[in-house]
Amino acid sequence: MKQYSLFYLVGLILLSCSNSNTKVNPEAVTDHEVYAALKLAINDLKLHEKQDGTENYYIEDVLKAPVFKTKLPRPTEKLTTYFSEEDLAFLEKQLAERENYQLAQDSISPKKLISHQTIDSLTASSNYNKNEFLKNYNLKFGENYFTSFSLPLYSLDKKTIYIDCNTIFGGRSIIYKKTNGKWKATTFMIWH
């Protein structure tokens, strides 16, 4: 009987050790969630492309830092309309963990990836002139334009997402809010 009790006790200890290693951090944003947010933005983009009569065929292969991190004036005070202080800290944590996030082609179909190095090279060779860039880009790719996205950033409860969507002609910041199981988009900021 003592021998069975010892085996039972050792088994419980081993089981509890293995369970502690497999716990999932509920705050962590998974790759699946990153791509789910991108698909929301891509589907919204398709609607705008149909209305405009254009289609951006390519997506830049690396997710950029959001405009609120790179442009002045920074709209951080506007972000507090959608995100708590704890959420804003969580956004920063996500940015630190996924800097220069590389996309996988099979996860963004039917769009095609275009290398950020190609875009950077065309930009530099055009002396950062938009018209010259368009001329050089069109020579290489035709009018199959591209979209760049920022890393999708989730609130702690994962019911709010921030993402930037940039094209050659401008961009916008989008806030997705999940209500009653459905995502609703709000344009947060627009630039040309």
- 9 belongs to a structural domain: no
Residue 107 belongs to a domain? yes
Query: What is the residue range of 111's domain?
Result: 27-191
Q: How many domains does the chain have?
A: 1
pTM over 0.75: yes
pLDDT of residue 50: 62
Q: Is residue 80 within 8 Å of residue 91, measured between CB atoms? A: no
113, 62 in Cβ contact below 8 A?
A: no
Residue 130 lies in a domain: yes
Say what percent of the chain tops pLDDT 70. 79
Which two structure tokens, joined as six digits, stand for 179? 């209500």
**Biggest distance spanned by C-alpha atoms of the chain:** 85
Mean pLDDT of 63-79: 77
Residue type, 133: F
Name residues whose C-beta falls within 8 Å of residue 55's C-beta, 6 or more positions apart in sequence.
49, 144, 145
6 is a domain residue: no
Q: Is residue 184 part of a domain?
A: yes
* DSSP structural state of residue 176: E
Strands (E), the chain: 56-60, 112-114, 145-149, 153-154, 160-167, 170-179, 182-191
Number of Cβ atoms within 10 Å of the Cβ of 13: 10
Residue range 14-25: mean pLDDT, rounded: 44
pLDDT of residue 72: 55
How many CB atoms neighbour CB 146 within 10 A? 22
Asked whether the predicted pLDDT for residue 166 surpasses 70, the reply is yes
Per-residue pLDDT tens for 111-157?
A: 899 999 999 999 999 998 989 999 999 999 988 889 999 999 999 99
- Whether residue 81 lies inside any domain: the answer is yes
**What are phi and psi for residue 60, nearest 5 degrees?**
-60, 140
pLDDT over 50 (residue 2):
yes
**Confidence (pLDDT) at 13:** 44
Asked whether residue 68 is assigned to any structural domain, the reply reads yes
Per the model's pLDDT, the better-predicted residue between 189 and 164 turns out to be: 164
13 in a domain, yes or no? no
